[in-house]
Structure 1
Amino acid sequence: MNILIVYAHPEPRSLNGSLKDFAVSHLQAAGHAVQVSDLYAMQWKAGLDARDSLDPPVDGRFDASADSRRAFDADRQSADIKLEQDKLRWADVLILQFPLWWYSMPAIMKGWVDRVYANGFAYGVGEHSDARWGERFGEGVMSGKRAMVMVSTGGWESHYAPRGIGGPIDDILFPIQHGILFYPGFAVLPPFVTYRTGKIDDAKFAALCTALGDRLDTLGSTPPIPFRPQNAGDYDIPALTLKADITPGLEGFGAHRAAVDDV
């Protein structure tokens, strides 16, 4: 398989850096082709702005969505954006690897999403009608591809349990897994989470690499998170709310995951 790792950590000798290096070596040894977008090493420009198009804004007023679409349609996007889009087209699997900073991804990785997910490329595609509302949430340009979040946190696993102080890890990652990955069509695998990063000694690192290797070996076969597709009948369109007979009484993030019996 072709595997793209988008990696965000400023220190190559960090735990994340070591896990990234292990992942690349392990995947290549298994015969996969691997590319890494090391955002800090690339000095990735995080802010989406008028410089992302080779043409100036119409009437001098920058419109993030409209200018993004105009540049994409005219093949006038900045070179760094086009290169990352080409990597996504190439990849069978996308891995987003990052430390959990303030309950989300580092700003540089969010900037990668903001800029690379251009209008016409990752959103703004498909029919919008009373029957369908675009090709998204289970459809879209990334359909047929898989994705996984590889995240580390200094907190204990119990801190991110259903009754933990930080909130359930699945809820914390929902905006990334559902909103960034499932939205353009990726089949999203369960995350690989490393807890208590400051307590990883040599023995724990070896065990961590074994567990990560097992996950990497099953990238093509692990069942994805059963997020509900938008246009498959579970949602009223164009309101995009779950129909009354779908998980009645259940609200919040969990309502957008199908039960095992529904899959």
Structure 2
Amino acid sequence: MNVLIIYAHPYPASFNAAMKDKAVSVLQDMGHTVKVSDLYAMKFKAVLDQDDFPQPCNREYFSIPGEQVAGVRNGTLAPDIQAEMKKVEWADFLLFQFPIWWSSTPAILKGWVDRVFAQGFVVNLLEGKVYTEGLLSGKKALISTTAGSPPEFYTEGGPHGDINHHLMSLWHNTFEFCGMEVVPTFYVFNAAVMDDLQVRFELERWEEYLRLL
């Protein structure tokens, strides 16, 4: 299986980095081929704008969906977008590793989705190619994420509410919308206050989870 890890954390010695490294090691040990898009190390451009379309199809009116469809069809999107698209095409399984910041993803990961998951590449709205007919059907997606608060904060009656609702725009409105099968999310809570023993425990739990995929 070809696995693409999209990793978003700015600190190379972070727990998220350890989870990414563990995933690479375990998945390769299982016989899978792994590529990593380390967005901060790549200094990936997080803002979708007109520079993404060096050969616009309409110079009088800037329509993002129209430019994306034309750019995908003609192979004229910005080079960094096309490079990531090739990785997505190659992958059977996409693993997204990131911390939850303000109930969402880091901005650099949101920007990766905005720019790489272009219309005409992941969905075709005019032809109804969404959800089960999405252009990424046949691929799987997994979110692996960390939260600073304890798990009881992220329950239906907790202060933050059900954590699955926080990420629904990603796993449902993005991944499933594009046709991917979504594997249950792997969560690590209290990530900001773990001691060495807890870190080892969570990394072992992560390895066990990966080996069951």
Normalising by structure 1, what TM-score? 0.78
CA contact (8 A) 2:57 2:70 kept: no
SS at match of 1:3: strand
Return the letter of the residue paired with 2:169.
P
Deviation at 1:27, TM superposition (A): 1.0
Spell out, residue by residue over 1:143-192, the C-alpha distance to the aligned partner (whole angstroms, 9 max, x if none): 11111101101011000012111010111111111011111111001100
Determine which of 137, 146, 156 is the counterpart of 1:162: 156
Whole-Å separation in 2 of the counterparts to 1:150 and 1:61? 39
After TM superposition, the structure 1 stretch with the greater mean CA deviation from structure 2, 77-86 or 36-45, is: 77-86
Name the structure with the higher helix share.
2
CA contact (8 A) 1:99 1:152 kept: yes
Return the letter of the residue paired with 1:139.
E
Detail structure 1 runs of 4+ shifted over 6 Å in the superposition. Answer: none
Higher relative contact order (CA 8 A, sep 6+): 2
1:41 aligns with 41
CA contact (8 A) 2:154 2:162 kept: yes
CA contact (8 A) 1:57 1:63 kept: no
Spell out, residue by residue over 1:95-126, the C-alpha distance to the aligned partner (whole angstroms, 9 max, x if none): 11111000000110000000001111012256
Spell out, residue by residue over 1:40-85, the C-alpha distance to the aligned partner (whole angstroms, 9 max, x if none): 0000001111111221462343221111111111111111111111
Unaligned runs of 5+ in 2: none
CA contact (8 A) 1:3 1:32 kept: yes
1:208 aligns with 202
Task: State percent identity of aligned pairs.
Answer: 40
Determine which of 153, 169, 186 is the counterpart of 1:192: 186
Whole-Å separation in 2 of the counterparts to 1:119 and 1:147? 18
SS at match of 1:35: strand
Whether 1:91 aligns to 2:85 is no
Whole-Å separation in 2 of the counterparts to 1:9 and 1:87? 20
Alignment of 1:85-164 (within 5 A): 85-125=85-125, 127=127, 134-164=128-158
RMSD of aligned Cα (Å): 1.3
Normalising by structure 2, what TM-score? 0.96
